[in-house]
Amino acid sequence: MRGAVIRDAMWTSAGFLVSVGWSLYFASANKTLPIEPIVHALASLTQPIAAIASHHQLRLAWVVVLNAATYGLLGLIVEMVRHCRRTATQN
């Protein structure tokens, strides 16, 4: 059980780092050049909250926190599936 909690914390940390990484990228990008479609698609795929935030006025801090929470929830789901599969194969 402890390993699942640690892995879920790693998922949450990954979501935080992904969001901070994209924030740093877009902060340092040239504002006069349009965003390439592949970059926009990759950013939207790895930050599902940012796609929602483009329609609503969310602050960057909220996007980072909500993206970390989204990754944490995804990690929780993955860990539950792993646990169910492991107990099913043992029986």
DSSP SS3 for 57: coil
Query: Are the C-beta atoms of residues 14 and 67 closer than 8 Å to each other?
Result: no
DSSP SS3 for 10: helix
What is the CB neighbour count within 10 angstroms for residue 42?
A: 12
Domain map (residue ranges) of the chain: 2-90
What does the pLDDT look like over 35-74, one tens digit per residue?
A: 888 988 898 899 988 777 777 777 888 889 999 999 999 9
- Cα distance between residue 18 and residue 75, in whole Å: 14
Helices and strands of the chain, counted as H and E runs: 4, 0
Q: What is the pTM of this model?
A: 0.80
Please give the pLDDT value at position 1: 67
